[in-house]
């Protein structure tokens, strides 16, 4: 049964969503931008690290812990033999930048109807709380992530239907653009996180497969943008 127009969030909000996405990405590229957008910086890190950890889990590995640090960086620690071998390792590396845009696209599409918008918010808020219980081990993450989860669940329970849809759209857009949290990271061979030099996700893909790391960084940057545009077009095409 098709939903009535009143069940859908205001389609004119797409202009605000696109502007917010562009501004978020722009500010992230400047010193201090991470702190100006601090809650969204932490959310972007959570999306990224959960992408790594859950993909490793799905491919037969063990997801040990997720750490988020005050500077907005983070790590997902996993181990074990993965299905598909080298390809599996490449998929886990790619899931950090690529998992969040796919999840964000689902959130944006779910926002089209009241019932699915409510479910999307409940799912995201609950996953934040569940991830804290199961995997988050850094003291900073243990404080901040539950607060975010409870805030999202509060919106699901008490906000108006329109606001629920808009908030889910906004969070979906933030998930999509989280790939650009530090866009230069996509084109770096390595990075220092919590005082440790590690290979970037792009380098890990290149090491497991073929072609240089900057090629894979470009692929992920284009893919994330394409997913965001396509999901917004589908959500507002009516």
Q: What is the pLDDT of residues 142-193, one digit of tens each?
A: 888 999 999 999 999 999 998 998 899 899 988 888 888 777 888 888 887 8
Average pLDDT of the residues in 116-121: 94
Q: How confident is the model at residue 130 (pLDDT cuts 50, 70, 90)?
A: very high
2 versus 162: the higher-pLDDT residue is 162
Residue pLDDT, tens place only, 50-59:
999 999 999 9
Q: What is the pLDDT of residue 7?
A: 47
Average pLDDT of the residues in 202-218: 92
Give the pair of three-digit tokens for residue 179.
């790939």
User: For residues 132 and 191, what is the distance between their CA atoms, to the nearest angstrom?
Assistant: 25
Average pLDDT of the residues in 185-208: 86
User: For residues 206 and 213, what is the distance between their CA atoms, to the nearest angstrom?
Assistant: 5
- When computed from its CA atoms, the radius of gyration of the chain, rounded to whole angstroms, is 18
Give the predicted TM-score (pTM) of the model.
Answer: 0.86
Residue pLDDT, tens place only, 10-60:
555 677 888 888 888 888 878 777 778 888 888 888 999 999 999 999 999
Average pLDDT of the residues in 78-106: 91
Q: What is the mean pLDDT of the chain?
A: 87
92 versus 28: the higher-pLDDT residue is 92
Residue 86 has pLDDT above 80, yes or no: yes
Instruction: Please state the domain extents for the chain.
Output: 15-236
The closest alpha carbon to 181, from 6, 3, 26, belongs to: 26
């Amino acid at each position: 049964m098709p939903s009535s127009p009143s069940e859908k969030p205001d389609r004119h909000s797409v202009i605000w969503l696109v502007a917010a996405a562009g501004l978020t990405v722009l500010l992230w590229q400047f010193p201090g931008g991470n702190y100006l957008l601090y809650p969204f910086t932490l959310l972007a890190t959570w999306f990224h690290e959960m992408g790594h950890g859950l993909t490793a889990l799905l491919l037969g590995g063990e997801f040990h812990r997720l750490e988020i640090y005050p500077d907005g960086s983070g790590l997902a620690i996993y181990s074990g033999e993965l299905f598909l071998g080298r390809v599996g390792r490449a998929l886990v590396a790619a899931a950090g930048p690529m998992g969040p845009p796919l999840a964000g696209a689902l959130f944006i599409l779910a926002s089209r109807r009241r019932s699915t918008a409510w479910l999307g918010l409940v799912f995201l808020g609950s996953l934040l709380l569940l991830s804290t219980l199961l995997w988050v081990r850094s003291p900073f993450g243990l404080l901040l992530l539950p607060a975010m989860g409870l805030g999202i669940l509060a919106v699901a329970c008490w906000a108006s239907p329109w606001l629920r849809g808009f908030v889910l759209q906004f969070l979906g857009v933030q998930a999509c653009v989280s790939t650009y949290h530090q866009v230069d990271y996509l084109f770096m061979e390595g990075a220092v996180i919590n005082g440790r030099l590690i290979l970037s996700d792009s380098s890990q893909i290149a090491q497991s497969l073929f072609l240089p790391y900057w090629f894979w960084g470009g692929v992920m940057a284009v893919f994330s943008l394409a997913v965001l545009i396509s999901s917004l077009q589908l959500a507002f095409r009516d």
